[in-house]
Structure 1
Amino acid sequence: MKKVLTILAVLVLLALIVVGVGNWLLTNDQPGGPGPGKPAAPPSPEAQNPPGCADVEVLAAPGTWESKADDDPLAPRANPRSLLLNVTRPLTEEFPKEKVKVWTLPYTAQFRNINARGEMTYDDSRNQGFKRLENELREMHKACPATSFVLTGFSQGAVITGDMAGEIGNNRGPVPADRILGVALIADGRQELDKGTLVGAKGIRGTGAEIALNPVSGLIQTIVPGATMRGPRPDGFGELNDRVNNFCAPADLICDAPGDLGNALVRAKDLVAANAVHSQYATNGAVVDGKTVPEYIVGWARDLINERTGK
């Protein structure tokens, strides 16, 4: 009985961390900075865009409580402190819209839990976001077959974006894999250290919270009903594996959760403090050397766009 109560206590701690995804006030925009690119193969010569199509579309998926279902994807205002505004605003200002379309995923972005029973469940919110991202990619590719794509997401949005990258990389997605220039995932709840490339951060030993909690997914339903901890992505990122960059701050339990629940009890103080770590990607200069994660992604995306457009 004591062992069961210990496990449940650990689950409560981990679940509260997951519940906290995106529920923090982030700092104002940071300036963009350079970063290395990971270009995909150039578009096939037979693909041609009609007039009015952008060369590249950047798609950004915000985290929990950083978006709304009715937000404007071209001018998002749901949360003025959304982390990914530190990526999308600099790119929008730098590139003309006829060259680069910047689109932010509008979805409910909620997480029902014992303290917020009226919200949409994580499963439903995530599924809604995935379908809307899928539809945008499909419709854009149909209208503009030579357009290439850059994908980025934070927290719940990183899970959605990572799931989409897995589908595309394994030839099940709405666009061919050769149309994806790169993918940047910040605090992915399904992160695995051997999938994609972990950029910058040293000392990451854990894994995504959905993987760490997968063995006891059923038990946490009383705490976070409708939040299925699905475990790892079965097929990884497939063809896109070398184009996926992961960003995770040490002790951010969304992406650096201990695989052994026993370790979670020992690290109880770290678990409680992880919410602060998760909220600091806009200011934390220790994840990647010399810049914040948004600054790095802006530079990385800039390089990909410039290579794609021949600059």
Structure 2
Amino acid sequence: MAELLLLRRKPRAVVFAALRRALIGAVICGAIVATAAGCASKPDPESTRADLSEVTEAPMAPEEIDEYDATLHPDPMVDAVDCTPYLVVTSRGTGEGASGQLLSPVVRMIAESRPDEVQTVDLDYPADAEVKIGATRGARILIDTLNVQADACPEQRFILLGYSQGALIVGDAIASPEVRLIGASVGELAPDAAERVLAVVLYGDPRFRGAESYDVGDFDPSVNGVLPRPAGSLDAFADRLRDYCVSGDIVCQSGFDLDESGHVAYYSNGMQQDGAAFVITRLGPPESAEDDAAPSKGRTPVGGAEPDESD
């Protein structure tokens, strides 16, 4: 595979560029090629855009809002999962199934970089045309998941990945309730949970804001997404966030004269590898490397004095 162009508008560190090239060379052929060849179902950009636009129209019925209201229903909707070093939460796009998701190769590359240290949870939400109620459920479950895990697993760190409607959910869940379009009443991340978020990677984000420092791609910075978030809404996560958008994406670039194929370009334009590389650069050293570096019990560290065996 040819070396990818660096798409971010600001220069990246040399180590990041080198790691990205290494990842590209190590991409699992089955996952990427099958998706690029059309074997996996891809969301329809035009219908996705129409479904998302309805979010700002008629309000949800009170009973639908109440179902996920954290004040009315404070008990978490999820149980804790295992305390692995890293928990990756994926939030798929509208119409994507359980397999062949845009985010699947991203997760695979992250997991392969840290064998036996990564657990993945696919967000339990419908990802269908009923964006208001479905995305509200997604935001509540994402917030509950991170808060529950922060309580149960003091050392666990979180990686959040979202595509299309899933990117809307992730972005709104980590933002303050007053700037959300969905899930204003579903609660907030506890401060400890928010601190544990190690990396956030979004693709084709409906709430894309074209002038943010964490944006990545060949988009027009003067053009926002179909449902742009207020400027600065995600400043607290800016150094941990990459929001990928290409110029032909009618979801993150909301003009009407753009090529509809842009919203599915992320399946084959190298941004999956780029996002995975960004996450991996933010991970600590593998546990096995830390174990190898630690001095063995009863042995003298290099450069240290011999142990006193008189006791």
Q: Which residue is 2:106 aligned to?
A: 87
Q: 1:257 aligns with which of 244, 254, 274?
A: 254
Q: Which residue is 1:220 aligned to?
A: none
Identity %: 24
**Counterpart check, 1:181 vs 2:190:** no
Q: 1:149 aligns with which of 119, 138, 158?
A: 158
The code of the aligned residue for 1:306 comes to G
**Counterpart check, 1:122 vs 2:131:** yes
The code of the aligned residue for 2:266 comes to Y
Q: Which residue is 1:303 aligned to?
A: 281
The code of the aligned residue for 1:296 comes to D
Q: Answer yes or no: is the 8 Å Cα contact 1:167–1:173 preserved in 2.
A: no
For residues 40-55 of structure 1, the aligned pairs below 5 Å read: 53-55=83-85
Q: 1:281 aligns with which of 266, 272, 275?
A: 266
**Counterpart check, 1:18 vs 2:34:** no
Q: Answer yes or no: is the 8 Å Cα contact 2:219–2:245 preserved in 1.
A: no
Relative to structure 1, the CA distance from residue 143 to residue 162 in structure 2 (aligned partners, 3 Å threshold; closer, same or farther) is same
Relative to structure 1, the CA distance from residue 203 to residue 195 in structure 2 (aligned partners, 3 Å threshold; closer, same or farther) is closer
CA distance in 2, matches of 1:192, 1:307: 33
Relative to structure 1, the CA distance from residue 241 to residue 308 in structure 2 (aligned partners, 3 Å threshold; closer, same or farther) is farther
Unaligned segments of structure 1, at least 5 residues = 1-13, 22-51, 68-77, 112-120, 212-231, 259-263, 285-291
CA distance in 2, matches of 1:279, 1:15: 11
The code of the aligned residue for 1:103 comes to V
Query: Which is bigger in relative contact order (C-alpha 8 A, separation at least 6)?
Result: 1
Q: Which residue is 1:102 aligned to?
A: 120
1:307: how far off? 4.9
Q: Which residue is 2:76 aligned to?
A: none
Q: Answer yes or no: is the 8 Å Cα contact 2:89–2:161 preserved in 1.
A: yes
Q: 1:58 aligns with which of 85, 88, 91?
A: 88
Q: Which residue is 2:225 aligned to?
A: 208
Q: 1:294 aligns with which of 257, 262, 272?
A: 272
- Summarize deviations over 1:206-240 as a string: whole Å, max 9, x none: 111113xxxxxxxxxxxxxxxxxxxx247601421
CA distance in 2, matches of 1:152, 1:196: 18
1:184: how far off? 0.9
Q: 2:145 aligns with which of 130, 136, 152?
A: 136
TM-score by length of 2: 0.59
Q: Which residue is 1:214 aligned to?
A: none
CA distance in 2, matches of 1:165, 1:196: 17
**Counterpart check, 1:190 vs 2:221:** no
How many residue pairs end up in the alignment? 207
**Counterpart check, 1:199 vs 2:229:** no
Q: Answer yes or no: is the 8 Å Cα contact 2:164–2:251 preserved in 1.
A: yes
